């Protein structure tokens, strides 16, 4: 019972610090980071595991780069801890996308293959190509279906459950489930279309 109480207390502290930081208190961000670092590390490690061996970025570097991106957006209106971790995951993805785009620009060409991940979500093979292809497809999705793109950000990249995603977006779990199914189909189709275009 003590652990549960401690966890609840820690969650309340995080929520309070998020509120203070959202009002422009930079000191709150400095207090917040040690409390959320373990979860941020878990998200970053999840990303890095997807990149395969030999990736030139380290997990801690991804966290620190994302931290700088988060610190630059201090006036964010944080709805919850889940919202914060979703935005943090998005910032980490952008760090990896920027890195992947620079590597892709430096090394053109290479064999292209389609790799299936996460229940049929397909991306173009090769670590740098994979994350760039998925980011491009996500941007296309967001242009027409912004909520569905947010569901992908929160669920796939942020690791949130259907319920936490629903709370963050203020929709029902059923809506999240439908959006998730639609988004995966859309991304799979878009990535395959881009892969074919790249091979022609």
Of 32-46, 104-118, 174-188, the poorest mean pLDDT is in 104-118
Contacts of 51 (CB under 8 A, 6+ apart): 57, 96, 127, 131
pLDDT (tens digit per residue) in 146-165: 999 989 888 877 777 899 88
What integer pLDDT is reported at residue 119 of this predicted model? Answer: 46
pLDDT of residue 140: 93
Segments making up each domain of the chain, as ranges = 2-199
Which has the higher per-residue pLDDT, 169 or 110? 169
Q: Which residues of 16-55 are buried (b: 16+ CB within 10 A; e: fewer)?
A: ebbebbbeeeeebbeebeeebeebbeebbebbbebbeeeb
pTM summary value: 0.59
pLDDT in tens, 2-25: 344 444 456 678 888 888 887 878
Can you tell me the distance from the alpha carbon of 44 to that of 16, in angstroms, rounded to the nearest whole number?
A: 24
Looking up tokens 């969650």 gives 11
Looking at residue 173, what is its pLDDT? 95
Which pLDDT does position 129 carry in this prediction?
66
φ, ψ of residue 121 to 5 degrees: the values are -80, 115
Q: Band of the pLDDT at 33, cuts 50, 70, 90?
A: confident
**pLDDT for 141 beyond 90:** yes
Predicted pLDDT at 2: 39
Q: Which of 94-98, 101-105, 107-111, 169-173 has the highest mean pLDDT?
A: 169-173
Look at 118 and 113; give whichever has higher pLDDT.
Answer: 118
Q: What is the pLDDT of residue 3?
A: 44
Task: Provide CB contacts within 8 A for 10, sequence distance 6+.
Answer: 35
* SS3 state of residue 75: coil
Buried b (16+ CB within 10 A) or exposed e, 161-172: ebebbbbbbebe
């Amino acid at each position: 019972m003590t652990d549960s109480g401690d966890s609840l207390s820690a969650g309340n502290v995080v929520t309070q610090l998020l509120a203070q930081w959202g009002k422009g208190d930079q000191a709150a961000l400095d207090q917040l980071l040690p409390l959320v670092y373990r979860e941020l590390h878990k998200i970053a490690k999840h990303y890095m595991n997807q990149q395969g061996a030999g990736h030139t970025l380290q997990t801690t570097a991804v966290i620190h780069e994302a931290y700088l991106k988060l610190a630059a957006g201090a006036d964010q209106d944080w709805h919850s801890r889940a919202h914060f971790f979703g935005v943090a995951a998005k910032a980490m993805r952008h760090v990896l996308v920027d890195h992947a785009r620079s590597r892709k620009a430096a090394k053109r060409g290479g064999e292209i293959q389609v790799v299936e991940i996460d229940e049929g979500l397909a991306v173009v093979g090769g670590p740098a190509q994979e994350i760039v292809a998925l980011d491009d497809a996500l941007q296309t999705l967001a242009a027409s279906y912004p909520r569905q793109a947010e569901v992908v950000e929160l669920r796939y990249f942020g690791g949130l459950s259907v319920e936490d995603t629903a709370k963050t977006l203020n929709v029902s779990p059923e809506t999240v489930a439908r959006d998730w199914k639609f988004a995966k189909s859309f991304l799979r189709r878009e990535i395959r279309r881009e892969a074919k275009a790249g091979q022609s």
